[in-house]
Chains A and B, each alone.
Chain A
Amino acid sequence: MSGEGNGAWPLWEVFVRGRRGLAHTHAGSLHAPDAEMALRNARDLYTRRSEGVSLWVVPSASITASSPDEKDPFFEPAADKPYRHPTFYEIPEGVRHL
């Protein structure tokens, strides 16, 4: 039961926005009994030196992840499409603004 220790508390993933104009990025994880405590713990754990202006906490169990074991087939559709990159195309020397 959760009273036995914080290991039985759910795990939360913490995302920090470093400053305005930047996206939230994953900083780490922590245990907390509820969202509000997770936010407070995240502040104390991941922003002790003004590393953030905004925090998100998400229950780790709510995250759906692609499995690394499926890595090749899962991400394969992109692998054979180099024409999606601008460097695929040859443009004559001297052509500008392209």
Chain B
Amino acid sequence: MTTTAADAGAGAYEAVFDAAVAADERIEPRDWMPDDYRASLVRQIAQHAHSEIIGMQPEANWISRAPSLRRKAILMAKVQDEAGHGLYLYSAAETLGTSRDELLDKLHSGRQKYSSIFNYPTLTWADVGAIGWLVDGAAITNQVPLCRCSYGPYARAMVRICKEESFHQRQGYELLLALSRGTEAQHAMAQDAVDRWWWPSLMMFGPPDDASAHSAQSMAWKIKRHSNDELRQRFVDICVPQAESLGLTLPDPDLKWNEERGHHDFGSIDWDEFGEVLRGNGPCNAQRISQRRRAHEEGAWVREAAAAYAAKHGEARA
């Protein structure tokens, strides 16, 4: 008969977990799971949530200067989506036993990371387009497989997020297309933005497979479904024809179709730059965190007022 985890030792718990992962079933919050699986998920989901929240900054930078009401409404909706994505993900992380306050503390104190892409500045309006097309495009390439991640709450959050991301990518592409087909100066602005965002976007997939610290175990646990290099290659192959349709070039002299491999070859990535940004020495690291801290501190009175109102009116508290 079936042996339940309840009436067996720790080994049996692990066997039930392993069998569920092997059978492509989802692990749910109250299931037994290895401590490292839990820690790995908290690290990844927290980093993902923080990226959504910090990612609001470079784009919000342009809301007040959007060139039309249409573009402004779109950009506000997009930035609001990023906040929403952060909240879905924080909720997923909290099902693993961490708290919202702890997650925010770790972001503010630098103990948890966010994607290094958001430490680059948005210098022109075209950057909003390049972020939508390339940064959100890379994010989608990374995230679609996560909809089948072995941890249920994370997978469900990713389903919602992926549905919403596709508008982000398309609005960016449309924005760049308008610039590319505009005046000479507009075209040059679009090209400049793509030139600056291309390589950082490729870095978003993380270090090469042979140097990626967490990859092998995450793949075994089906937290990750594809390797960093595999997803990076997929993204490059997707982008090349899209760039052609835009009438823009990608800043890589080594980029060319390899008939034998059935993929595009591309130049080597500057991992020293990646390492520097990761260590906190990117163009905007300090600014992003100080702005986040300030927003949190300046919002304290709102949180306090809401809590005081709830206490006064005797709402049920958890």
* A positions within 8 Å CB-CB of B: 1-11, 28-35, 37, 44-45, 48-49, 59-62, 65, 67-73
Measured in the bound complex, the distance between the Cα atoms of B316 and A32 in whole Å is: 11
Determine the chain A residues whose CB is within 8 A of the CB of B6 once the complex forms: 69-70, 73
Shortest CB-to-CB span from A45 to chain B, Å, is 5
Asked if A3 and B101 sit within 8 Å, CB to CB, the answer is no
Give A54 to B28 CA distance when docked, in angstroms.
Answer: 27
How many B residues, CB 8 Å from partner?
41
Contact bitstring B277-318, A, C-beta under 8 A = 1, else 0: 000000000000000000010001001101111110101111
A30→B87 contact, CB < 8 A: yes
Q: Are B91 and A8 in contact (CB under 8 A)?
A: no
Q: How far is the CB of B255 from chain A (nearest CB, A)?
A: 36
The answer for the CA separation of A30 and B89 in the assembled complex, in Å, is: 11
> Quick check: A7 and B102 within 8 Å, CB to CB?
yes
A62 to B309, CA, bound (A): 21
Taking the closest CB of chain A, its distance from the CB of B145, in whole angstroms, is 21
A45 CA / B89 CA spacing, docked (Å): 12
Whether B310 lies near A33 (C-beta < 8 A) is yes
Partner of A6, one of B31, B156, B303: B303
B81 lies within 8 A of chain A by Cβ: yes
B245 at the interface (CB under 8 A from A): no
A45 to B99, CA, bound (A): 19
On whether the beta carbons of B310 and A34 are closer than 8 Å, the reply is yes
- Residues in A whose Cβ lies below 8 Å from that of B300: 3
Known A-B contacts A5-B100, A28-B157, A30-B91; the reply to A69 vs B5 at CB < 8 A is: yes
Residues from chain A with Cβ under 8 Å of B195 in the complex: none
B121 close to A (CB within 8 Å): no
Q: Does B268 contact A (CB under 8 A)?
A: no
Would A48 and B317 count as touching, CB distance under 8 A? Answer: no
Q: In the complex, A34 Cα to B300 Cα: how many Å?
A: 17
Is A34 touching B87 in the complex (CB atoms < 8 A)? Answer: no
User: A98 to B77, alpha carbons, bound, how many Å?
Assistant: 53
